[in-house]
């Protein structure tokens, strides 16, 4: 175990030296090593918080082609596509269309949006084929990642260029408008390793025509999206201890949008996103290294096909002007058109330093500092052509002390100054005690904050006539908001049963959330509400009963106790029970079969979501890998939701049965 841990730590800090020795089995056999909790490499049973690892084998076996879907493999997570190419994700409830309470990282680069709190999953310039693994910290982790590491941290780690030599191409085609094409080339030249990926993806998520509320005329959804991206990464080995890495990504999207029930909404979105990222690392060994990282990202969204809007003085609401989509025609008191185009711009510049150090044989420490400048702009949602901006700074330290064999004490804290809420400290203390060989008990107490977004604090949505007359105010700026605060208490158990080839990870938790941020009134303003609690448990199990079969099972139970006066939907936002199972079977001679079962209880999605009924989703995949003219080939057939149709996020979002085929070449 110790040798394996050191080897993996070396692979992370000095990948060139160890890449030839590392295989996927290193992450699956014995106890997986994780990096995302304390920023120090640790076996899963020594991490100070619960972690789920989704490895590349699970990603392939699941048949999922969209990154958010992979979170269905994490206990306690609720996942749904909303509309307009956005995803809703929750952990033990509090799930809305913005995923506001997670920190999401791609190779250390935060993709959490500061304007609205949304995670822009659809704009990621990242192919699912390029992901090495995803580490999900199930619980607050602000002591390491600061504000917005509130409920969980999702850390997506891409493959090292050394793992992707030569050319690779994959194509998918199937029902419900699903198609995709990805091409990648990786190579090396002396001390330089590089990778370049180009991809085009098309999706049409739901049934387009849906009967609603007993109506005979169907509601028409516009959800077809076309997204193109290019990304590249180059790693250069400067010396035996130093390495420089550079990444970039470009995304362009042409997304349909809208809903025939709401004809005043835009019918399309033009999306563009870019990022560049640079990292310099010096690693003497796994416990003695430092890193400097800088990145810049820009996300822009426009709606070029905004319908002409008018204000219905009788109904006091915005409608499509007569002659636009008069269904039925409505009398509009003012003959003037309204200005209400959609535009969104978000930019981020981030500079970070991190150092890991072994202070003594039984002491390790990780410390660092970060400064970030955010810029956002939207004529519609902030009622100004000026840009809003803010700068936050943070410093953190995590300390690990092996007091004696079998007893590990860990502590950490993040000091952070946010442009809206001032200075906060997010601490954590944890104890990992080995009851017997392969059986570890974990106690963890932590506190985290979620700072308000620009829209929650400064949002202003008004409708004006073309002559400048304000006719309606929908959202008004809020009084100064306090950050949301969570106090989390956790008891965890990690066990290995070698005789059965079984690993078990379970936890019980009790969380108290204070100063919950929610909107109310007319016009809407965000305010801090009272406290509420979330309690329950998570369980994940990995079992290999025979060499050819692997099973990964997850179960979670959660209950939210909240005063209905806070938010009447809050207590219903957590499904009481969720369950998933992914089974992978090696049939021999290159054939492999897998099946996934995903069960969610009844829940209410927050923001603009509906009550969705309990559902069980069944997926299956059959694949064969072989060599053709010396090249690696894989063909797969995937069936998704092979059971009954179910609802996602809204009762009009009907996810039906669908099948797609996939073909990939590597040479």
Alpha-carbon dihedral sign for residues 162, 168, 172, 178: positive
Q: What pLDDT, on the 0 to 100 scale, is given for residue 348? A: 97
Encode pLDDT of 243-264 as tens digits.
999 999 999 988 876 665 665 5
Homologous superfamily (CATH) for 2-266+278-306+341-666? TonB-dependent receptor, beta-barrel domain (2.40.170.20)
Cβ–Cβ under 8 Å, residues 381 and 418: no
User: Cα–Cα distance between 108 and 277 in angstroms, integer?
Assistant: 9
Tokens of 218: 């169907």
Judged against a pLDDT cut of 50, whether residue 151 lies above it is answered with yes
Q: Give 147's pLDDT tier (boundaries 50, 70, 90).
A: confident
Encode pLDDT of 200-216 as tens digits.
999 887 766 655 555 55
User: Cα–Cα distance between 643 and 619 in angstroms, integer?
Assistant: 9
Mean pLDDT, residues 347-362 taken together:
96
Contacts of 322 (CB under 8 A, 6+ apart): 310, 329, 330, 332
Judged against a pLDDT cut of 60, whether residue 336 lies above it is answered with no
User: Containing H/E element for 2?
Assistant: helix 2-13
Q: How many residues does the chain have?
A: 667
Q: What pLDDT, on the 0 to 100 scale, is given for residue 569? A: 86
Q: Which of 7, 8, 15 is nearest to 242 (CA)?
A: 15
Q: What pLDDT, on the 0 to 100 scale, is given for residue 658? A: 94
Judged against a pLDDT cut of 90, whether residue 454 lies above it is answered with yes
Q: Give 16's pLDDT tier (boundaries 50, 70, 90).
A: very low
The set of long-range contacts for 653-656, using a CB threshold of 8 Å and a minimum separation of 24, is 653/80, 653/81, 653/82, 653/83, 653/205, 653/206, 653/221, 654/206, 654/207, 654/210, 655/81, 655/205, 655/206, 655/617, 656/176, 656/206, 656/207
Cβ–Cβ under 8 Å, residues 72 and 123: no
Q: Is 128 helix (H, G, I), strand (E, B) or coil?
A: helix
Encode pLDDT of 378-437 as tens digits.
988 898 889 999 999 999 999 999 999 999 999 999 999 999 999 999 999 999 999 999
Mean pLDDT, residues 366-374 taken together:
97
Where do the domains of the chain lie? 2-266+278-306+341-666
Judged against a pLDDT cut of 50, whether residue 328 lies above it is answered with no
Mean pLDDT, residues 75-83 taken together:
90
Torsion on CA atoms 616, 121, 527, 445, rounded to nearest 10:
70
User: Cα–Cα distance between 38 and 240 in angstroms, integer?
Assistant: 26
Q: What pLDDT, on the 0 to 100 scale, is given for residue 8? A: 36
Q: What pLDDT, on the 0 to 100 scale, is given for residue 262? A: 61
Tokens 């004006």 belong to residue: 464
Q: Give 219's pLDDT tier (boundaries 50, 70, 90).
A: low
Tokens of 57: 């084998």
Cβ–Cβ under 8 Å, residues 13 and 285: yes
Mean pLDDT, residues 585-597 taken together:
97
Lowest mean pLDDT among 480-489, 501-510, 568-577: 568-577
Q: End-to-end CA distance of the chain: give it in Å, rounded.
A: 35
Tokens of 264: 């005043």
């Amino acid at each position: 175990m110790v040798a394996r841990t050191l080897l993996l730590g070396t692979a992370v800090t000095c990948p060139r030296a160890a890449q030839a020795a590392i295989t996927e089995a290193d992450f699956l056999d014995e106890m997986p090593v994780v990096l995302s909790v304390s920023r120090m490499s640790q076996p899963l049973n020594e991490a100070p918080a619960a972690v789920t690892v989704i490895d590349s084998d699970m990603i392939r076996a699941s048949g999922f082609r969209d990154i958010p879907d992979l979170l269905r493999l994490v206990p306690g997570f609720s996942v749904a596509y909303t509309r307009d190419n956005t995803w809703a994700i929750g952990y033990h409830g509090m799930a809305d269309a913005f995923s506001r309470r997670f920190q999401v990282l791609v190779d250390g680069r935060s993709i959490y949006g500061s304007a609205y709190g949304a995670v822009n999953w659809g704009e990621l310039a990242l192919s699912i084929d390029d992901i090495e693994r995803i580490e999900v910290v199930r619980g607050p982790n602000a002591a390491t990642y600061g504000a917005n590491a509130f409920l969980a941290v999702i850390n997506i780690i891409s493959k090292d260029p050394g793992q992707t030599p030569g050319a690779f191409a994959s194509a998918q085609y199937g029902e419900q408008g699903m198609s995709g094409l990805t091409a990648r080339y990786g190579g090396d030249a002396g001390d330089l390793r590089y990778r370049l990926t180009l991809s085009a993806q098309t999706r049409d998520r739901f049934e387009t025509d849906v009967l609603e509320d007993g109506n005979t005329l169907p509601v028409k959804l516009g959800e077809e999206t076309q997204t193109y991206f290019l990304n590249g990464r180059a790693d250069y080995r400067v010396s035996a201890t130093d390495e420089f890495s550079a990444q970039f990504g470009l995304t362009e999207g042409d997304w349909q949008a809208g809903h025939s029930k709401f004809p005043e909404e835009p019918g399309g979105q033009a999306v563009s996103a870019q990022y560049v990222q640079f990292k310099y690392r010096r690693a003497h060994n796994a416990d003695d290294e430092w890193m400097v990282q800088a990145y810049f990202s820009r996300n822009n969204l426009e709606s070029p096909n905004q319908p002409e809007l008018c204000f219905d003085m009788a109904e006091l609401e915005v409608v499509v002007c007569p002659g636009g989509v008069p269904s039925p025609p409505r009398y509009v008191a003012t003959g003037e058109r309204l200005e209400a185009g959609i535009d969104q711009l978000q930019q981020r510049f981030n500079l970070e330093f991190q150092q890991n150090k072994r202070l003594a044989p039984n002491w390790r420490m990780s410390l660092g500092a970060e400064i970030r400048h955010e810029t956002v702009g939207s004529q519609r949602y902030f009622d100004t052509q000026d840009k809003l901006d803010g700068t936050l700074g943070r410093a953190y330290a995590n300390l690990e002390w092996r007091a004696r064999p079998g007893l590990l004490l860990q502590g950490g804290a993040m000091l952070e100054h946010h442009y809206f809420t001032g200075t906060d400290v997010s601490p954590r203390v944890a104890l990992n005690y080995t009851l017997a060989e392969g059986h570890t008990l974990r106690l963890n107490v932590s506190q985290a904050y979620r700072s308000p977004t620009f829209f929650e604090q400064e949002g202003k949505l008004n409708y004006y006539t073309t002559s400048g007359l304000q006719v309606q105010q929908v959202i008004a700026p809020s009084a100064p908001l306090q950050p949301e605060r969570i106090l989390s208490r956790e008891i965890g158990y990690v066990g290995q049963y070698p005789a059965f080839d079984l690993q078990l990870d379970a936890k019980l938790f009790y969380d108290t959330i204070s100063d919950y941020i929610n909107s109310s009134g007319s016009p809407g303003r965000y305010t801090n509400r009272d406290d509420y609690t979330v309690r329950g448990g998570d369980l994940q199990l990995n079992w290999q009963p025979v060499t050819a079969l692997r099973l990964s099972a997850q179960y979670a139970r959660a209950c939210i106790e909240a005063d209905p006066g806070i938010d009447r939907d809050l207590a219903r936002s957590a499904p009481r029970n969720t369950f998933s199972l992914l089974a992978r079977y090696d049939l021999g001679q290159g054939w492999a079969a897998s099946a996934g079962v995903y069960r969610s209880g009844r829940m209410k999605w927050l923001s603009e979501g509906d009550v969705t009924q309990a559902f069980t989703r069944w997926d299956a995949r059959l694949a064969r890998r072989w060599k053709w003219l010396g090249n690696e080939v894989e063909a797969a057939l995937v069936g998704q939701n092979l059971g009954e149709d179910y609802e996602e996020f809204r009762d009009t979002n009907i996810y039906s049965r669908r099948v797609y085929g996939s073909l990939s070449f590597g040479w």
